Amino acid sequence: MGKAKRRSINLGKHNQFQNITRDEAIELVIDKLLKNENVDDLISLFGLKADELLEAGADYESVISLGGQVQ
């Protein structure tokens, strides 16, 4: 294995979620929305819906700004 591949694998190991539940994912999405960070990956991974985010306490404007990403 080459140096670049080994380095990429080592960097990727630490960027992954170990064990995350759906509830934790919803909380993480809400936190990221408040910080104006990208949440596309979590929404598509867990298939989150707008109703779930709104019930968990997300702002209506933040959820609407996601557009077609949430169902």
The DSSP letter of residue 58 is: -
Domain limits, the chain: 19-69
The DSSP letter of residue 3 is: H
CA distance linking residue 50 with residue 71, whole number of Å: 6
- 2-37 pLDDT, tens digit per residue, is 778 777 777 766 666 568 889 999 999 999 999 998
pLDDT at 6: 79
Q: Dump the DSSP string for 11-39.
A: HHHTTS-SS--HHHHHHHHHHHHHTT---
Three-class SS state of 64: helix
Tell me the whole-structure pTM to 2 decimals.
Answer: 0.70
pLDDT at 13: 65
Residue 10 dihedral angles phi and psi, to the nearest 5°: -65, -40
